[in-house]
Structure 1
Amino acid sequence: MFRFVLKRFASAVPTLFVVITISFFLMRLAPGGPFNLERPLPPQIMENMKRVYHLDDPLWQQYLTYMGNLLRGDFGPSYIYRDFTVRELMLQNLPYSLKLGSIALLIAVLGGVLLGTIAALRQNSLIDVMIMAVANFGVTAPNFVVGPVLTLILALTFSLLPAGGWGDGSIHFLLLPVITLALPEVAVFARLMRGSMLEALRADHIRTARAYGLPNRVLVVAHAMRAGILPVITYLGPAAAQLLTGSAVVETIFTIPGVGQFFVKGALDRDYTLVMATVVLVSVFIVIFNLVVDLLYAFLDPRVRHD
């Protein structure tokens, strides 16, 4: 198992290298720059700004400089937030996204697995239809619609919850953004779990166990769910990376000071280093959670073994 983990981390290095390289050159080759304002700066000031940030160097030299700094954990200065380095911005704002995303991920996994299992056990019943209808709504309804609607109903109309802000970080302040962030993932997990559970319940070994009189609760929990949850585990990797690194839309709607806002704002303002840091962060999370998914596969499926 230890060798497998080392091999996965070793294979992830070239992947991260390719992603960072492509992102670096795409950002640099896109039209515009971090100092292209509506009112252009005087040429002399523009030249000084580029010289300070080494943007007047050849592109290959900028790339080598950036990669060298990145290996030392230096993401460089922010071109927009002049008083902060990108590393300081990430360290300051990432905990907000991690807390929000962790709660949303927990709700998404538990809620999706539970609803999908109930729907599969009650196939074609009214409960099944209602759960799938809610799941379809969760998949199709964008969070920039769900968020304001929930705010209008629960915050502005009935004054049950705050309309936005982090507050003291309690669930009272986070409930609305968590629901908005988790709802699409709950829907996806529920649909995946329902389909895989229906297939698992029709498997030959499940039928044999039922014929031998195994209690239905043991049959579902110990056997069917263990096989049926595998597609959910597969989707868990990218879903966890997305939720834990923040959603720009949700964080903007509810004024959450997370890192999700930096990706959109950095791209619009051509803040190269800020966007690159977000790309690196998401890539690392995906690699880590895909490794966790592989380890969970080995635990849940006895046919999978990692040497």
Structure 2
Amino acid sequence: MLAFVLRRFLGAIPTLFVIITASFFMMRLAPGGPFNLDRPLDPTVMENLNRIFHLDEPLWSQYLRYLGNLLTGDFGPSFVYRDFSVGDLFANGLPVSLQLGAGAILLALVVGVAMGVYAALRQNSLADYLVVATASIGTTVPTFVVAPLLSLVFGVWLGWLPAGGWGDGAILNKILPIVTLALPQIAVIARLTRGATIEALRSDHVRTARAYGLPARSVVITHTLRASILPVVSYLGPAAAALVTGSIVVETIFGIPGIGRFFVQSALNRDYTLVMGTVVVIAIFVVVFNMIVDLLYAWLDPRVRLD
């Protein structure tokens, strides 16, 4: 297993290199710059800023400088948030987004799998139709509708939970953002689990287990669920990366100081180093989560080999 992990990390290096290179030059070729304001700066001030941030150097020199800094773990200074480096912004915001993303994935996995299995065991019943209908609604209603609605109902009208804010990471402040992030994923996971469970229940090894007289609970948990969870595991890789790094709507509505808000703001403000930092973080998360998915696949399905 260790050799597999090392191979995956080494194989990811060329991919990360291509992503970083393409993103660097695409950002620099886009019109505008970090210091192009509605009210133009004095030419002398603009010249000094370009010299301080090395923007007056040839593009290839800027690229090599950035790669060299990146190898030492230096994402560079933020061009817009002048008092912070990109590393400082991530150090403050990434733990917050990780907590929200991890909580949402865990909630979606538990609830979505339970709903999917329950619906599959009662196929074509009222419970099955309710789960399918709920999942369809969950995948179509956007988070920018769900988030303010939950905040209004549970935070303002009922007063059960805080309507917004981080509250130094208090559990009550996390509930509404995590539920908002988890609802679309619950819907997707429930549909995936339902379809895979129905197919697994019709497989030969499950029918054989039933013929041997095994208890229904053992048949479902040991034989059916192990096979039906595989599509969900495949989906969790990109879904986890998206939840951790792409929660800008939820973080904005609930006033949470995560890193999601930096993704759009940095692109609009042409904050080159912050854009590049977010690209690197997303790419690393995708590589790591996909590797975890492969390991889970091998554990769940003995037919999958890692060598």
Distance in 2 between residues matched to 1:205 and 1:100, nearest whole Å: 39
Distance in 2 between residues matched to 1:6 and 1:222, nearest whole Å: 31
> Does structure 2 retain, via aligned residues, the 8 Å contact 1:234–1:293?
yes
Give the match's secondary structure for 1:123: coil
What residue in structure 2 maps to residue 168 of structure 1?
168
What residue in structure 1 maps to residue 8 of structure 2?
8
Q: CA deviation at 1:202?
A: 0.8
Q: Does 1:232 align with 2:232?
A: yes
Distance in 1 between residues matched to 2:80 and 2:13, nearest whole Å: 30
What is the 5 A alignment of 1:148-297? Answer: 148-297=148-297
Distance in 2 between residues matched to 1:173 and 1:285, nearest whole Å: 25
Distance in 2 between residues matched to 1:241 and 1:20, nearest whole Å: 17
What residue in structure 2 maps to residue 89 of structure 1?
89
What residue in structure 2 maps to residue 107 of structure 1?
107
> Does structure 2 retain, via aligned residues, the 8 Å contact 1:163–1:254?
yes
What residue in structure 1 maps to residue 128 of structure 2?
128
Give the match's secondary structure for 2:168: coil
Aligned residue pairs total 307
What residue in structure 2 maps to residue 48 of structure 1?
48
Q: CA deviation at 1:244?
A: 2.2
Q: CA deviation at 1:212?
A: 1.9
Distance in 2 between residues matched to 1:185 and 1:16, nearest whole Å: 27
Distance in 1 between residues matched to 2:30 and 2:180, nearest whole Å: 32
Distance 1:54 1:168, change over 3 A: closer
> Does structure 2 retain, via aligned residues, the 8 Å contact 1:101–1:246?
no
Q: CA deviation at 1:26?
A: 1.3
Q: CA deviation at 1:255?
A: 0.5
Q: CA deviation at 1:246?
A: 4.7
**Which stretch shifts more, 235-244 or 68-77?**
235-244
Q: CA deviation at 1:296?
A: 0.6
The list of structure 1 runs, each at least 4 consecutive aligned residues, that deviate by more than 3 angstroms after superposition, is none
> Does structure 2 retain, via aligned residues, the 8 Å contact 1:119–1:127?
yes
1:9-41 CA-to-partner distances (Å, cap 9, x unmatched) read 111111111111111111111111101111111
**Which stretch shifts more, 79-88 or 169-178?**
169-178
> Does structure 2 retain, via aligned residues, the 8 Å contact 1:98–1:246?
no
> Does structure 2 retain, via aligned residues, the 8 Å contact 1:135–1:188?
yes
Distance in 2 between residues matched to 1:24 and 1:144, nearest whole Å: 31
Name the TM-score, length of structure 1 as normaliser: 0.98
Q: CA deviation at 1:47?
A: 1.5
Q: Does 1:28 align with 2:28?
A: yes
1:79-114 CA-to-partner distances (Å, cap 9, x unmatched) read 111001111111111111111111111101111111
Distance in 2 between residues matched to 1:119 and 1:32, nearest whole Å: 53
Give 5+ residue unaligned stretches, structure 2. Answer: none
Distance in 1 between residues matched to 2:279 and 2:111, nearest whole Å: 29
1:157-207 CA-to-partner distances (Å, cap 9, x unmatched) read 222211100013222111111111111111111111111111111111111
What residue in structure 2 maps to residue 62 of structure 1?
62
What is the 5 A alignment of 1:138-149? Answer: 138-149=138-149
Give 5+ residue unaligned stretches, structure 1. Answer: none
> Does structure 2 retain, via aligned residues, the 8 Å contact 1:251–1:258?
yes
Distance in 2 between residues matched to 1:51 and 1:150, nearest whole Å: 48
Distance in 1 between residues matched to 2:226 and 2:148, nearest whole Å: 38
Q: CA deviation at 1:54?
A: 0.8
**Which stretch shifts more, 243-252 or 196-205?**
243-252
